[in-house]
Structure 1
Amino acid sequence: MGDHSGTHVDAPLHFDERPEAKGIDEVPLENFFTEAVCLDLSHKKLKSDISISDLEVAERAAGIDIKPKDTVLLHMDFYRRTQGTDAYITDFPGLTKKSATSLGEKGITMFGVEAVSPGRPGRNNFEVHHVCRDMGFTHMEGLVNLDKLVGLGRFRFIGFPLKIRGGSGSPICAVAWVE
């Protein structure tokens, strides 16, 4: 089993080549037990970019404010639309450098997507990973069932990683604890 298979979280070591970059075993456990929100971006077309405006509209529609230390889950209805097809690997909507930066400016702990990567293939994906590096947060990939969290407001996110020494990521069992 690879450390980037299925539902997983990227450690800073995955996108930061500096010697002091943390492996998954060095990331504080409290980063994986946080307050969370889910934004509805299900209207986004496949292969499209998620803009700052898209995030702001979704945040207002959810009736919540993204707070520092939150985990932000992005429901794109991607899994339902593409699972079991070749499109699952390439056709996802994704963040851009600017939209990832806007999340980082809110002081989030991490964000999560249904897709295999947080940004569209190519330059956007590379830049989104570097925003995570430069702003000190990370992301999860391969989430499912985010549609069940849309409209619920704030909840608790739990997604503890395996303690893989020097790991650049880890599979997680992602759980939403809804009161």
Structure 2
Amino acid sequence: WHYAPTMNGGERARTIDEMPMEWCMGNGVCIHFQDKPDGYKVTAADLEQYFRRIDYQLRPLDIVLLHTGAQKNYGRTEYGITGCGVGREATLWLLRQGVKVVGTDAWSWDVPLPLVAKEFAKTKDPSVIWEGHLAGMEMEYYQMEKMTNLDLLPVTGFQVICFPIKIRGGSAGWVRPIAVL
């Protein structure tokens, strides 16, 4: 419901209290992309290359966390323009692997909004706005934003527990995610 009133190509979108709880606890995978420049849009090719390099095949219900390095600016004005973001194509690639929950240390799963606004001002292409979010209209998924300590996580070999607060009819809910190493 956070992305749009529909998901999966036209079904009524679920509200946060309807999220399947079995999706909120699983194997964690941390993508360490803190070397990507601020505003970089992660592509499906980037993800394919990363998983090939670490020799890992995503499994259904893996919880994928994106370490962008943005957390270093949390609480500062720069936070809203720090870190890379995940585009529509890359988000859908993850979802096709069976991923249902993702997270990032950045302000948003998408490229930082002020940088997207600059791109939109140049191109006038509305598809660049919230494209990672709006992938949820095509395939259901849930995202966590503004996470911390992702820099302390290994690439794999940990569990994530991330049950959201159930807000009846809510489009989102806060979560206190933990990694079990």
Equivalent residue in structure 2 for 1:102, among 93, 99, 108: 93
Equivalent residue in structure 2 for 1:37, among 22, 25, 29: 29
Equivalences for 1:1-179 in 2 at 5 Å?
13-18=1-6, 20-80=12-72, 82-120=73-111, 121=113, 122=116, 123-151=127-155, 153-178=156-181
Q: Match of 2:138, SS?
A: helix
Look at both structures and tell me which one has the larger radius of gyration over its CA atoms.
2
Please report how far the alpha carbon of residue 125 of structure 1 lies from its aligned counterpart in structure 2 after TM superposition: 4.8
Contact 1:113–1:143 (Cα < 8 Å) also in 2: yes
- Structure 2: tracts of 5 or more residues without a match: 117-126
In the alignment, residue 127 of structure 1 is paired with which amino acid? Answer: E
TM-score normalised per structure 2: 0.82
Q: Which has the higher contact order (CA 8 A, sep 6+)?
A: 1
Quote the sequence identity (%): 29
Contact 1:41–1:58 (Cα < 8 Å) also in 2: no
- Structure 1: tracts of 5 or more residues without a match: 1-12
TM-score normalised per structure 1: 0.83
User: 1:165 and 1:84 mapped to 2: Cα distance?
Assistant: 30
User: 1:155 and 1:99 mapped to 2: Cα distance?
Assistant: 23
Q: CA RMSD in A?
A: 1.8
User: 1:83 and 1:27 mapped to 2: Cα distance?
Assistant: 28
Contact 1:41–1:54 (Cα < 8 Å) also in 2: no
